[in-house]
Structure 1
């Protein structure tokens, strides 16, 4: 059984384990009404020896718990029952309770049940608070602000205040994105347990009005995912006709998956249809893990770029107020997971070409190519492209502090924004309608906005400071809940799902990405 199946242990077994373990602990805990936090004392040698036999990564936290309680036991029957209820809700976080809690095993070894109960509680708490996997081990460049919780002190405080369930509930992210995605996970797991949806056989494209034997299975699949209503599906019956009603459901499916929305069942759509309900549930599990890595307190004004979806969302006062399509790094030149402050807007920016791009892709083409693209070599040997209509940065650049030369910018190549697969750049983020977005950011200060507008008219290179703190987060989320409350999926363009799944021991088979257009000439410069 892999780590994504067998989600909740049999409640009767849990109850028997709790009851037996509680009897073993009863004498020591009969008078324990509250864990008392004390000045750290020496832990009794027998207890310390048991702690030393635990996994090394959990020993410091377990030892801290007993230092804070003066070496006294902390578990009684009531608290173990609360821990059982907490374990039963692990599926809401796409976690397997049996990976953390072995109540039957506690009963089998009552002499060590106290310490192992503490270790189990802390291990599960750390996963909820920080995630199972260190993000740096599965991404080449991951520089986000991590969540940080002292789980040992938190557990003692929760026991002290008799609010163990509430404390555990608060460790996972509390934002609507995590909660909605968690609900989506439960839904897809239920679909998978009930047998999933009919497998889709890849083949010829299904055109509007055509008759195809795959249509009835397609209708069932779209109904299970919410793209077709049950009443509409009933009206369709078992018809093999790819009717207007089925096409409407398919457009909903295509929108959720970031595909070209044409109602036809072509190659890219067929590949997305190839994923099973179990695969999609497991993909959601990977993205819940990514969200657990991140700090919980977010800046109320921020820019978030989902590089898997190639979408940017601008948040103000804690609410999403604006979204744009973006073009992000290609598979070979991935946009990293990065969190930085937004510093300034630069109108009419010149582009200093990175040395690697200049050597590989520009200088070999000769002086004529440089001249044709408004480029020159400066006194320090760098290739520079002048500001203007041909500039690869377009008419505005959004500077980030200390961002490895990764930034957001305009582009003269607007056509890529119309593609569904927009992983095409050298790593920077091209923003659709970038000048209008810059004006939106500067609008709170009319003076700054006027400076920017004046520069746009004159063509002068002008840096305008925002004058306030705006965060930028470059994220990689292949499963998320969209503005209509539906679970949306994106294919694993950077293969990061594959790597994370391997680290978590999850067997998931995701569709390959299908791009509808090759990269244009010089399309991936920046």
Structure 2
């Protein structure tokens, strides 16, 4: 290679290096630029408005505010999908959706007395946007700020109002799976709804209870209700007493007394209203001012509001739409609810677990009906209740129609040295079908890890109690025959006649339920029933107290 050719080669090499450097810098800028670029695979090609954010504004907005990474990600994703087009403004005005959302946010702050969602800057800017019109729109910085503040506030609001606590629900003894809600789609719907109300992602029980919460907030603003106190005995039907007027006023406030008069006579209308109140509290419906009724009447409005807020938190964990055909047991209510085609068709009393042997909160699928069931005794009951009796006399088993099984073989209880065991007996103990069997004539199985099921019981008298927490965890049903017919109605051959024919024997019979039936075991101490009445119950397992630590930050 001659001298001139070497110079040409060097010059070409330098040009290539400069070109590569320029290209690298260009690609770096493109990479930074693309960090906030829209996802063209979604719907960014659609034109919502001619107003478009500069993607770098997002970075500046995030840098100026302390926002969680997850919140930043939500906001960024929302704008990426819409090609950075504005959501809360049209070309010439603040969109109706902005006012619609702002009303939702302010209602939540008022309903739940939650100042964490209060934002004075949003309120100021919304007010200026409405009153100044085009003058406000000319201020690009203010418009961009309000746009991003509203979007950020929406995701903060949605987490509070619809998702609920982020704590592991297993710590709160709630084992029903919680479905993740799509707040991106909800915001899309909100901003495209042209100011029309949107369907909030909550179930109807939440909505009903929220209306009652607002009524009680109003009562709170009015000073609540006076405490009922008596110098001597509480007035009874036929008495005339000055305190009866206070009683009437309170019953009228709560909706139990339909017509209020100014007399102080304890008449029939007061007795009927008292029965309504007692029914809503799960008390004996005597129409009398007994001690338990007075305790519930004298609970202050603030306590009732807290109770509603706690149960609304639980309702946020429940799916927006429940299956139209299902069974639901509410533990503090001691009731089984049967739903057909989305409507409650009937209810039945139940007995649930004692505080020491709580009934678990979970969802299952009822798959089997067992007629004339064996009762397989749990290890806990064997260790704590049966083993001490067997050590004294193995004849206990025969007297109670029980047997000892090893594998598939029934063995003689007198051949076992029971005194050598303190726990973990290596045998199955079961009670044979027949009169006196602890599971009665039928059990309903929805396989779960808590060994809980629904069943009949020979102890019918317990259904006469108002508080029915007596079991070892399983749920005893007061109308098992009716429930069996309902669960098996998809199998017409299993009619009442055929069921009775099996029940006349002592032979165990398993029936597969197809399709399986969803069963929810839940825990609500306040709710609105299918007649629109607000109910309250005692916190049987202390779970309201545990949840209050999470919701209200109490120790």
* Pairwise TM-score range, normalised by the shorter structure: 0.7 to 0.9
Alignment of 1:162-201 (within 5 A): 162-163=193-194, 166-167=197-198, 169-173=199-203, 175=204, 177-201=205-229
Task: Tell which deviates more after alignment, 211-220 or 329-338.
Answer: 211-220
The CA distance in 2 between the partners of 1:45 and 1:85, in whole Å, is 25
* Aligned position for 2:415: none
The CA distance in 2 between the partners of 1:162 and 1:301, in whole Å, is 32
* Aligned position for 2:186: 154
Scaled by the length of structure 1, the TM-score of the pair is: 0.80
* Aligned position for 1:215: 244
Larger relative contact order, structure 1 or 2 (CA cutoff 8 Å, min sep 6): 1
* Aligned position for 1:523: none
* Aligned position for 1:14: none
The count of corresponding residues between Structure 1 and Structure 2 is 464
Distance 1:341 1:35, change over 3 A: farther
* Aligned position for 2:274: 250
* Aligned position for 2:303: 279
Residues 251 and 262, structure 1, Cα contact 8 Å, conserved in 2: yes
The CA distance in 2 between the partners of 1:208 and 1:506, in whole Å, is 45
Residues 310 and 422, structure 1, Cα contact 8 Å, conserved in 2: yes
1:308 and 2:332 equivalent?
yes
Q: Deviations over 1:190-233 (max 9, x none)?
A: 22211221112377555444555532222111111111123xx3
1:466 and 2:466 equivalent?
no
1:393 and 2:439 equivalent?
yes
Distance 1:226 1:352, change over 3 A: same
- Picking from 113, 116, 137, the partner of 1:99 is 116
* Aligned position for 2:37: none
Residues 122 and 149, structure 2, Cα contact 8 Å, conserved in 1: no
1:34 and 2:54 equivalent?
no
* Aligned position for 1:481: 528
Residues 129 and 147, structure 1, Cα contact 8 Å, conserved in 2: no
Distance 1:374 1:468, change over 3 A: same
Could you say what secondary structure the match of 1:280 adopts? helix
Q: Deviations over 1:322-354 (max 9, x none)?
A: 210111112222212211111011001111111
CA shift, 1:172, in A, is 2.7
* Aligned position for 1:332: 356
Scaled by the length of structure 2, the TM-score of the pair is: 0.76
* Aligned position for 2:398: 371
Task: Tell which deviates more after alignment, 197-206 or 415-424.
Answer: 197-206
CA shift, 1:454, in A, is 2.5
Q: Which runs of 5+ in 2 are unaligned?
A: 1-45, 126-140, 407-425
Could you say what secondary structure the match of 2:327 adopts? strand
* Aligned position for 2:106: 88
Task: Tell which deviates more after alignment, 58-67 or 183-192.
Answer: 58-67
CA shift, 1:107, in A, is 5.0
Residues 410 and 434, structure 1, Cα contact 8 Å, conserved in 2: yes
* Aligned position for 1:416: 462
Distance 1:162 1:260, change over 3 A: closer
Could you say what secondary structure the match of 1:404 adopts? coil
The CA distance in 2 between the partners of 1:369 and 1:163, in whole Å, is 74
- Picking from 191, 207, 228, the partner of 2:257 is 228
Give the superposed CA RMSD.
3.1
Q: Which runs of 5+ in 1 are unaligned?
A: 1-31, 508-526
* Aligned position for 2:66: 53
Residues 43 and 67, structure 1, Cα contact 8 Å, conserved in 2: no
CA shift, 1:311, in A, is 0.7
Q: Deviations over 1:334-393 (max 9, x none)?
A: 212211111011001111111011101121122243332222332151221112221111
Residues 128 and 172, structure 1, Cα contact 8 Å, conserved in 2: no
